[in-house]
Structure 1
Amino acid sequence: MLDDFLTRAALAGFGLSLATGPLGSFVVWRRMAYFGDATSHAAILGVAFALATDLPIGIGTLLVALAMALTVATLAAKGWVMDTALGVLAHSALALGLVAVSFLHGIRTDLSAWLFGDILAVSKGDVLFIWAGALVVLALLAWRWQALLTATLNEDLAHASGLNPDRERLILVVALAIVVAVAIKVVGALLIAAMLIIPAAAARALSRTPEAMAVFATLIGAFSTFAGLQLSLWQDTPAGPSIVTAAAAAFLLAALFNPKPST
């Protein structure tokens, strides 16, 4: 029974890493860290929405995360100063979600599981949902990989190549919302952005090409899952934060190995 429970947790973490590795690379390249925070913090509001409407948690989270991501992308396209706008949206969404949950009478839920994740409690259905979402994100990124790279490098170059940077941004927005929906059970709303940013930042120090960075970020995410689960098992630490701690240790080692990344 213990082995089955750890196997499900490992599969969930590995599936999430498949999506967060390449997507996190674009988050780092485009300096979208706060964008990821705003979208992931909205996940708690998605949990409240799902509980209030009897929707599956993943679907409710996906809908609200997508709405938040589209709102942020629209504000960015209209020229808003994004530091302030993202700060307001991120913390307002988190606070509103926590308040909304408190109004759901007759529904008992452990908010810490949604804030920090509960990977050790994932079911077979959760694992299938995570892998399905990860494969959709991978398909989106593989389909538009070169276009996304061009738009990330230079929007004027993208226009000259016949690409629409706004469309490429929208693809990243949709992918980010999907990752938020599949990651909330693994690392929770407060740590989703960490799993996007930290493995990619560590991979940046080890890579010479964008493709290599995406692969290394995926591998570092998978290794962090394994190391975090082992730490949780041996020392009885919370699993989600342990996974992020392992990723942070990988980043520190990568930074010491190559303090001046080339990608």
Structure 2
Amino acid sequence: MILDSFLIRAALAGVGVALAAAPIGAFVVWRRMAYFGDATAHAALLGVTLALATGLPVTLGVLVSATAMALTVAAAAGRGWAADTALGVAAHAALAIGIVALSFLHGVRVDLLGYLFGDILSVTRTDLAVIWTGAALIIGLVAWRWRGLLLATLNEDLAAASGVNPRREGLVLTLALAVLIAVALKIVGTLLITAMLVVPAAAARPLVRTPEAMAVLAAVVGTVAALTGLYAAWHFDTPAGPSMVVAAVVILVVTSMAAAIRGR
């Protein structure tokens, strides 16, 4: 069968993550939430530790820890902490605590590099099912709340006047981000998840005029980057996850140069 090939499974996994990351990445760029995404992603290692210690599925443990981290950071930023301070503390503390906590798990073999940078070439059929289920959930959730998310991103007062609760829309985005981190952990790892969120959206931004077009083009950029990165990893024996990010960055440079030339 077609899924017997590990390269086909890896390609499908990369495309699934790219499609799921595109709409969230657009909102992360618009809201300038890159550091927020980074802090949430770094909490994934705590979720891995929780899952391995309790016997829960790793995806579920990561989902719980990422959601808890996102909500904690949002609450801290609103209670006297400057946003950048809260995010800086949370991002690095979560990563350090997660790595230390993993070292206390005796008798459990942990591929730390795989969790940090991803291991897309080892994706199984079960992983594919989880990734595409998560991607469908994220795309459906964002599509359902698209108008409310846009209004809350544009202007919270305008959103409230239109009957949209900005806090609720923020929670929706937080939940979608947590689901993405849970399904993308095996693909690009905790250190590179934010890159796959931000870079494709940033690459698409100079070439489009509408929010919808930006989300669609970000999905295209992410897909091309995922497939190109896998091709490079296979032919040049480079790490797959970082290769995908490098491919996305190259596309960003090209689109930025194209936009600059067009502007002139």
TM-score normalised by the chain length of structure 2: 0.96
Secondary structure, aligned partner of 2:209:
coil
Q: Aligned partner of 1:22: which letter?
A: P
Q: Could you tell me how far apart the structure 2 residues matched to 1:210 and 1:79 are?
A: 33
What is the percentage of aligned positions where both structures have the same residue? Answer: 60
Whether the aligned pair in 2 keeps the contact of 1:61 and 1:181 (CA below 8 Å) is yes
User: 1:120 is matched with which residue?
Assistant: 121
Q: Aligned partner of 1:138: which letter?
A: I
Q: Which runs of 5+ in 1 are unaligned?
A: none
User: 1:202 is matched with which residue?
Assistant: 203
Within 5 Å, give how 1:159-238 maps onto structure 2: 159-238=160-239
Whether the aligned pair in 2 keeps the contact of 1:205 and 1:261 (CA below 8 Å) is no
Q: Could you tell me how far apart the structure 1 residues matched to 2:180 and 2:262 are?
A: 26
User: 2:63 is matched with which residue?
Assistant: 62
User: 1:71 is matched with which residue?
Assistant: 72
Within 5 Å, give how 1:1-263 maps onto structure 2: 4-78=5-79, 80-259=81-260
* Alignment deviations for residues 141-194 of structure 1 (CA, whole Å, 9 cap, x no partner): 001101100110001101111111000000000000000000100000000000
Whether the aligned pair in 2 keeps the contact of 1:205 and 1:258 (CA below 8 Å) is yes
* Superposition deviation, residue 3 in structure 1: 7.1
TM-score normalised by the chain length of structure 1: 0.96
Q: Could you tell me how far apart the structure 2 residues matched to 1:79 and 1:182 are?
A: 33
Whether the aligned pair in 2 keeps the contact of 1:73 and 1:170 (CA below 8 Å) is no
* Alignment deviations for residues 192-241 of structure 1 (CA, whole Å, 9 cap, x no partner): 00000000000101111000000000010000010000000000000000
CA 108–73 in structure 1, closer or farther in 2 if over 3 Å, else same: same
Whether the aligned pair in 1 keeps the contact of 2:77 and 2:86 (CA below 8 Å) is no
Whether the aligned pair in 2 keeps the contact of 1:151 and 1:165 (CA below 8 Å) is yes
* Superposition deviation, residue 79 in structure 1: 5.6
Superposition RMSD in Å? 1.6
Q: Could you tell me how far apart the structure 1 residues matched to 2:208 and 2:140 are?
A: 22
Q: Which runs of 5+ in 2 are unaligned?
A: none
Paired residues in the alignment total 262
Secondary structure, aligned partner of 1:92:
helix
* Superposition deviation, residue 70 in structure 1: 1.1
Whether the aligned pair in 1 keeps the contact of 2:9 and 2:124 (CA below 8 Å) is yes
